[in-house]
Amino acid sequence: MKDILNLYKARGETPLQRLERFRKDNPEYKNIPLSYAGRLDPMAEGLLLVLAGETNKNRTEYLGLEKEYTFDVLFGFATDTYDILGVMSDAVTRSSHKPVRSALLIEYIAQMSGERTQKYPPFSSKPLEGKPLFVHARKGDLASFELPEHKIEIFSASLVGMKRINDQDLLEEIEQAIKLVKGDFRQERILHLWRDTLRILYGMTFDVATINVHCSSGTYVRSLANELGEQIGIPALAMRILRTRVGKYSVKSAVK
């Protein structure tokens, strides 16, 4: 049996669901302790590094490995989770929608590199007064707290390309992605809001930027998408996230 597992977490799965699927497919690991060295959100996919057995004693070492991602940023929308699996935080109208200037986008992506302080997303597992942030966020009481921060470093960031997506194709992708999610993630409410909003925006198209980033452990990519939107003055969220590397481990050899 291997003590370090390079698994592919599918879109819609939680890391725990991926571990359960692995145990089902590999019964020899039934009673072996397994843990993942770095979470992936339900809407993210890609490399999930899993430690088995005695390797868990060195978990801190693996948690600190640098990572690489390729992610799509959708402009014109913002949610409380900073990805498509969230409740829209602002009403979007036809008149409020603005196109993205590629030159400005390239300029801000270039400025991503370096050390910085990043606030934890409201919907994350970071503890605050004994409870994960997402518990406070669901209760609606985060306004009375200051979101905790942590140090991260972006080693490099680059724009891969840009495209536009129309309202119907966007809704189809969102519906397909959210239907993959099991458990209580407010799916019905979120889908209802997306459908109503895109009905108002019927016939419109929206900018999507694909970005590569090489970053330190602990970096929230969906937060990078949200921050990028704040910088250029257009709401933005992470539409797709693919983790391609953790340390020396590549998604190309990940087991699906």
CATH number 3.30.2350.10 is the correct assignment for the domain at 67-246: yes
What is this structure's pTM?
0.95
* Structure confidence by residue, pLDDT tens digits, 69-84: 999 999 999 999 999 9
- List the Cα angle 238/241/246 in 5-degree steps: 135
E strands within 108-195? 114-119, 127-128, 131-132, 149-166
Listed by start position, the domains of the chain span 4-63, 67-246
Q: Which two tokens stand for residue 121?
A: 């997303």
Please report, as a single letter, which amino acid is at residue 48: L
DSSP 3-state assignment of 156?
strand
pLDDT score for 14: 97
Query: What is d(CA 72, CA 211) in angstroms, rounded to the nearest whole number?
Result: 6
pLDDT band for 90, please (50, 70, 90 cuts).
Answer: confident
Q: Mind listing the pLDDT tens digit for each residue in 226-238?
A: 999 999 999 999 9
